[in-house]
Amino acid sequence: MSNFLVDAYPYVLTFHIVAVMSWMAGLFYLPRLFVYHVERALPGDQLDETLKVMEFKLQRYIMSPASIATWVAGLLLVFTPGIVDWSSVWPYTKATGVIGMTVFDHWLMIKRKKFARGENTLTGRTYRIMNEVPTVLMLVIVASVVIKF
């Protein structure tokens, strides 16, 4: 198995990067949709229904598959011999960032379901602030991998 992973490394890494980019796009866009939903839509109007469909499709067809693909490819990279130096700090900071990103993704899922039921209680300002969470986590993850502190 280890020889297979070493041989497949460039392909797995490519797949991982594309999956991360797709997941991040959704993590940046969904909170922004929530801002518009809170600030511009009225319960039951056409915009409310349109945003509910957009939010659902973004999460179901882009974010969820991309997050799963990110995790699968990432774990394959972790198990590829010679890729991760477990005596360094960076694998642990990256893992913490990825787990944080996953928790944020699940928080967004919960909030989307609340919007779908007409039960949102948060403000546009709150969603604007939360929109910065993936940026901070992305910086931690990328710095961990590139700088390898």
pLDDT digits (tens, 9 = 90+) for 89-148: 999 999 999 999 999 999 999 999 999 999 999 999 999 999 999 999 999 999 999 999
Tokens of 128: 């604007």
Q: Which residues contact 107 (CB under 8 A, 6 or more apart)?
A: 130
Q: What is the model's pTM? A: 0.92
Report pLDDT for 149. Answer: 85
Q: Which pLDDT score is estimated for 22?
A: 98
- pLDDT tens readout for residues 50-92: 999 999 999 999 999 999 999 999 999 999 999 999 999 999 9
- 2 falls in which pLDDT band (50, 70, 90)? low
Residue 30 CB partners (closer than 8 Å, separation 6+): 55, 58, 59, 63, 108, 112
